[in-house]
Amino acid sequence: MHVGVRMSRRHFFAIGIFAGLTILCQIALTRLFSVVQYYHGAFLAISLALFGFAVSGVFVFLRPQAFRREHLDRQLGRYGTLFVLAVPASFCFYLYLGVEGLLRALGLPAGRSLPLVTLEYVLLAVPFFASGICISLLLYHGASQANRLYAVDLISSATGAVLVIPCLGLLGGPKTMLFATALGALGVLPFRAATRAARWLAPAAGAAALLALLAAPQSAFNQFVLRKPPLVVASEPIFWNAFSMVGVGPEREAQGYRMRNIIIDNSVATAMVGAAGNGGDSAWTRRDWNAAAHRLKPGAEVLIIGSGGGRDIHVARAHGPERVWAVEVNPLVVRMSNEVFGDFTGSVYSEPGVEPVLGDARSFIANSSDRYGIILASLIDTWAASAAGAFALTENLLYTSDAFRDYYDHLADDGILSVSRWHPLETPRLLATGLEAWKREGVADPRKHAVLLVTGPAAGMGNQIVVLLMKKSPFTAQDIRSVEAFCAETVMVCALTPWTVRDPLVAQSLRAWEGSGAPEGWSGLDIAPVSDERPFFFNMLKPSTQALRMLGLRASQDPAGFQANLEATRMLVLLLVTVVVLLALTIALPLLRRGGGLGAGGPWILAYFTCLGLGYILIEIGLIQRLILLLGKPVYSLALILSTMLLASGTGSFVAGRPSAGRMARALPGLLLGTAAILAVLAFFAPAWIRGLLGTPFALRVAASLLLVALPAFPMGMAFPSALRLLGESGRTSLVPWVWGVNGATSVLASVLAIVLAIEFGYTLVFLLGAACYLGASLSFRAWGTGRPAPAGRGDGG
């Protein structure tokens, strides 16, 4: 019978290094994925890491003889070395060559196919598999100290989640992986003597990575093999931060002005415009689609949401406002426009009357006491995924009815909200969201407050642009005459006024908002107003609808330009199916090895760790989504929330190791029940508490966020390691690698399931399901009966 042994300092050091670097690589991979493939591929990084962990646990479980205690240091050295070698090898192969490139180099036929894509993802999962082996072994052989080991694991993960932010800013995405390689080599050093002939591999790889890190210019690492059409590709100079990779495109002429695009993650562009007197014609500022609101309210103070490269600032200043607030979440974009290309743009953010604001617009508005004549948001996309986007697919808190209500509250009495999006694809949902927000603010007839303008086909970049104007007071006849004069001058179409509708799609969209069915050709698409509860403005195809389409049970009728939306949801459905299969294999293979039996309480052990794996990630994603609105900047919010949750859970794990195993066995069901109750309360009341805190001082919002995260995370951290220790006490330590694998596989499932449920039903259900998982864990633990020793004769295979 295998029993846990005491771990030395080198073992605690190893679990800390590998846990911290795993999450660092995981978050950095979301950045790299966002650059080389579409935004919706970024969340695969989370699944890859957890997939590697799931496979590692089953791998250890199925080969108990190879992972005996006397082989521990040798195996840590071996798989630690694999991690050190696999990080640069797998990521460099993916970023700069790929399976297709390798086949072409060998003179073989190549093309994107499911087997090739799967092979690339398997290679990317190798580093996480290797670190998962190391952590699994340490928990397996140190089950008697599982609480302390798991505490180090979680606290180190929190450190990695914070460390990745300065790493990405200082080193860039590719060099961050080299940094992880060098640190990983330190984790292997204590085990060099046990690795025999391969003892030099990890130090050599670490030294080579460090040399490349210091000697090679960052520009040498920025030419990637893209998995998306190269519609906008950044050239030098290229900079990185935790938000994005930012570069520029070539200069060109457009509408009488000189322009260069700032390109974010090779996905989206924001325009820098040549300053007046710098070869440009400023007359375009009066003809621009965003000038409509300014023509109605010349000289009004303006709040620009997502000011980007400064194009909208030029338009606003041409209409004579005394003050322009320019809110931009990405500091690199402001730096590019105002400093790196300041001679070209005239340092637009430093112009008189312009007040740059670095931060999240929703948070800024909620904490602002000012009221604005115009609030303007033009073509703000989130296709360049931040680290938070790994969890969020395409959510955007700027385009919800709750956001529009915040804008309403911060408009002057006759102020105007101007929102520009793409026509026709986003027109129905944009119009519905604006009308719904005004209705919820008590406006009797929102139609009297809405005007919709559409550009000609040549004015958009491949599509037309729709401009929604929502006025706080009703539009007057004089307002409409001014709008129609502007349209005549700019060759735009006034598609909607309080009295007229001149576009068939707009007419059908109005009827849809009033409850009369979807527009023609939009059957099965979700164009209802979005809210903070379900902030997926860009996603109009629910996963359930897409699944029925893939099974041939529902016909598709999609408007032109819908392919990206379709592909995102299709990938989500396929990933959900894949992780369900992974979970089935993770459970089935160990059961087959044991002849279908797990001994006394076996099914309840399985249920317990399944509930924990699902519950922790569901709550983590729910907390991140809820609190980003309160804290502002998405990446820093993610780091704060994730690190706080891991630190609080790590502290809970350590504290749970102080009582005896028997005492914890008696206390754990009640603790889990209390955790479920806390989570259920948060599910219903946290949104209202968060909205109540908007507008309070930042320090108070941070303190409240830390409390909301730490309160449930502390007991949540007790459950997993305490159960591992109890497995050891009851003589069933060999199950530890298996339940580690089950925990990893269910975490993968939860990371995908959370997004599916949020798109379908909202984040409250995600939270409630997480609470239900901890209730299920409490009931499973009571039925498990951990205090009983393993039945005589069964053994544990160790």
Q: Is residue 603 part of a domain?
A: yes
CA distance 459 to 271: 14
Q: To the nearest 5 percent, what fractions of the chain are helix, strand and coil?
A: 60, 10, 30
Beta strands in 224-359 (DSSP E): 235-240, 245-248, 252-254, 257-264, 268-273, 302-305, 324-328, 354-358
Which residues, 6 or more positions from 525, have their beta carbon under 8 angstroms from its beta carbon? 518, 540, 541, 545, 558
- pLDDT, average across residues 106-110: 77
Which residues, 6 or more positions from 277, have their beta carbon under 8 angstroms from its beta carbon? none
Q: Is residue 519 part of a domain?
A: no
Q: How wide is the angle at C-alpha 364 spanned by C-alphas 358 and 368, nearest 5°?
A: 130
Query: Could you tell me the two tokens for 398?
Result: 């700027």
CA distance 207 to 201: 10
- Would you give the DSSP letter of residue 494? E
For the chain, the distance separating the N- and C-terminal CA atoms, rounded to the nearest angstrom, is 6
What is the number of domains present in the chain?
Answer: 2
Please write the tens of the pLDDT for every residue from 755-769.
Answer: 899 999 999 999 999
CA 689, 694, 699, 702 dihedral sign is positive
- For residues 131 and 257, state if they share a domain: no
- For residues 457 and 393, state if they share a domain: yes
Contact criterion met (CB below 8 Å) for 310 and 337: yes
CA distance 198 to 77: 9
Please write the tens of the pLDDT for every residue from 63-93.
Answer: 888 899 889 999 999 999 999 999 999 999 9
Residue 110, domain extent: 9-216+567-784
Contact criterion met (CB below 8 Å) for 64 and 201: no
- For residues 63 and 191, state if they share a domain: yes
Q: Is residue 233 part of a domain?
A: no
Last residue of a domain, one of 513, 533, 551: 513
Closest CA to 251 of 224, 280, 223: 280
- For residues 497 and 581, state if they share a domain: no
**Residues above pLDDT 90, as percent of the chain:** 56
Question: Considering only 192-206, 380-394, 595-609, which range has the smallest mean pLDDT?
Answer: 380-394
Query: Could you tell me the two tokens for 775?
Result: 């209730």
Give the model's confidence band at 202: pLDDT under 50 very low, under 70 low, under 90 confident, else very high. Answer: very high
Query: Could you tell me the two tokens for 254?
Result: 């457009």
Q: Is residue 521 part of a domain?
A: no
Whole-number pLDDT of residue 796: 42
Give the model's confidence band at 790: pLDDT under 50 very low, under 70 low, under 90 confident, else very high. Answer: very low
- For residues 58 and 159, state if they share a domain: yes
Whole-number pLDDT of residue 577: 86
CA 686, 687, 693, 698 dihedral sign is positive
CA distance 533 to 626: 9
Q: Strand, coil or helix: what is 247?
A: strand
Last residue of a domain, one of 513, 539, 559: 513
Contact criterion met (CB below 8 Å) for 223 and 96: yes
Q: Is residue 305 part of a domain?
A: yes
Give the model's confidence band at 462: pLDDT under 50 very low, under 70 low, under 90 confident, else very high. Answer: low
Name residue 155's beta-bridge partners: none
Question: Considering only 72-86, 168-182, 274-288, 771-785, which range has the smallest mean pLDDT?
Answer: 274-288
Last residue of a domain, one of 513, 535, 559: 513
Contact criterion met (CB below 8 Å) for 679 and 770: yes
Closest CA to 243 of 632, 701, 753, 647: 632
Name residue 356's beta-bridge partners: 326
Q: How far is CA 547 from the centre of its chain?
A: 23
Whole-number pLDDT of residue 4: 52
Whole-number pLDDT of residue 586: 85
- Would you give the DSSP letter of residue 340? I
Contact criterion met (CB below 8 Å) for 497 and 415: no
Q: How wide is the angle at C-alpha 784 spanned by C-alphas 781 and 785, nearest 5°?
A: 100
The mean of the pLDDT values for the chain is: 87
Would you call 440 exposed, middle or buried from its count of C-beta atoms within 10 A (0-12, 13-18, 19+)? middle
Contact criterion met (CB below 8 Å) for 763 and 533: yes
Closest CA to 77 of 249, 193, 247, 172: 193
Whole-number pLDDT of residue 760: 93
- For residues 300 and 444, state if they share a domain: yes
Give the model's confidence band at 118: pLDDT under 50 very low, under 70 low, under 90 confident, else very high. Answer: confident
Whole-number pLDDT of residue 596: 60
Q: Give the DSSP letter string of 16-78.
A: HHHHHHHHHHHHHHHHHHHHHS-GGGTTHHHHHHHHHHHHHHHHHHH-GGGG-GGGHHHHHHH
Residue 411, CA distances (Å) to 470, 471, 558 in order: 10, 9, 36
- For residues 193 and 256, state if they share a domain: no
Whole-number pLDDT of residue 384: 45
CA distance 720 to 771: 16
- For residues 203 and 256, state if they share a domain: no
562: pLDDT strictly greater than 80:
no
Give the model's confidence band at 611: pLDDT under 50 very low, under 70 low, under 90 confident, else very high. Answer: very high
Better-scored residue on pLDDT, 790 or 87: 87
Name residue 259's beta-bridge partners: 252, 273
What count of residues does the chain have? 798
Q: Give the DSSP letter string of 309-339.
A: TSHHHHHHHTT--S-EEEEES-HHHHHIIII
Whole-number pLDDT of residue 77: 95
Give the model's confidence band at 394: pLDDT under 50 very low, under 70 low, under 90 confident, else very high. Answer: very low
Closest CA to 397 of 412, 424, 377: 377
Q: Strand, coil or helix: what is 750?
A: helix
Q: How far is CA 267 from the centre of its chain?
A: 16
Query: Could you tell me the two tokens for 708?
Result: 């909301």
Closest CA to 503 of 538, 448, 464: 464
- pLDDT, average across residues 428-457: 95
CA 147, 151, 157, 161 dihedral sign is positive
Please write the tens of the pLDDT for every residue from 232-283.
Answer: 888 889 999 887 899 999 988 877 788 899 998 888 889 999 886 544 457 8
Contact criterion met (CB below 8 Å) for 718 and 667: no
CATH number of domain containing 758: 1.20.1250.20
Name residue 327's beta-bridge partners: 305, 357
- For residues 509 and 454, state if they share a domain: yes
Whole-number pLDDT of residue 460: 42
- For residues 337 and 200, state if they share a domain: no
Q: Give the DSSP letter string of 424-472.
A: TTTHHHHHHHHHHHHHHTT-S-GGGGEEEEE--TTTSSSSEEEEEEEES
Query: Could you tell me the two tokens for 227?
Result: 């998995």
List phi, psi (to 5°) of 469. Answer: -110, 120
559: pLDDT strictly greater than 80:
no
- For residues 178 and 124, state if they share a domain: yes
Please write the tens of the pLDDT for every residue from 7-52.
Answer: 899 999 999 999 999 999 988 888 888 888 865 555 566 677 778 8
- pLDDT, average across residues 372-377: 97
Whole-number pLDDT of residue 412: 97
Please write the tens of the pLDDT for every residue from 523-532.
Answer: 788 899 999 9
668: pLDDT strictly greater than 90:
yes
- pLDDT, average across residues 381-388: 46
Q: Is residue 797 part of a domain?
A: no
Q: Is residue 2 part of a domain?
A: no
- Mutual angle of helices 763-784 and 698-729, in 10-degree steps: 30
Question: Considering only 90-99, 290-299, 614-623, 782-791, which range has the smallest mean pLDDT?
Answer: 782-791
Query: Could you tell me the two tokens for 49?
Result: 């890491």
CATH number of domain containing 267: 3.40.50.150
Q: Is residue 525 part of a domain?
A: no
**Residues above pLDDT 70, as percent of the chain:** 91
Query: Could you tell me the two tokens for 198?
Result: 């391969």
Whole-number pLDDT of residue 112: 64
**Distinct helix (H) and strand (E) counts, the chain:** 27, 13
- Helix intervals (H) in 471-550: 477-490, 504-513, 543-550
Give the model's confidence band at 594: pLDDT under 50 very low, under 70 low, under 90 confident, else very high. Answer: low
- pLDDT, average across residues 110-126: 79
Better-scored residue on pLDDT, 78 or 696: 78
Match 């606290």 to its residue by tokens. Answer: 155
CA distance 121 to 102: 15
- For residues 286 and 392, state if they share a domain: yes
Closest CA to 334 of 315, 348, 346: 348
